[in-house]
Structure 1
Amino acid sequence: MIVNTNAIVISVLKYGEADLIVKCFTQKSGLKSYLLRGILKSKKGRFKVSMFQPLTQLELVAKHKDKGSLEYIQDAKLIAHYQSLHTNVVKSSMVLFLSEILRNSIQEEEQNEELYHFLENTFNWMDVHDNIANFHLLFLLKLTRFLGFYPDTSQAEGEYFNLLEGIFQDIKTNEYCIEGGNLQLLKLLLGTNFDELNAIKLNQSARSNFLTMLLGYYLVTY
Structure 2
Amino acid sequence: MSEQVFEKKYVYTVLPPRTGLLRNSWYKRSNEWRPYPSSCSVGLAFIAVSLFVLGLVLCHARKVESPAILTGMFFFGNGLIQIIMGIWAIVDDNLFGSTLLLCYGGFIMSYGAAASDLFGVISSYPTTANYTSAIVLFLSGWVVFDFLLFLSTFKSTIPLFALTFCKWFFMLLLTIAESGNHSAVRVVSGIFCFITSICAFYAFYDGMQTTASSYLPINEPSWLRMPAGHKEPDDEDKIAVI
Q: Fold-level match, TM-score > 0.5? A: no
CA radius of gyration, larger in: 2
Q: Please identify which structure carries the higher helix content.
A: 2
Q: Please identify which structure carries the higher strand content.
A: 1
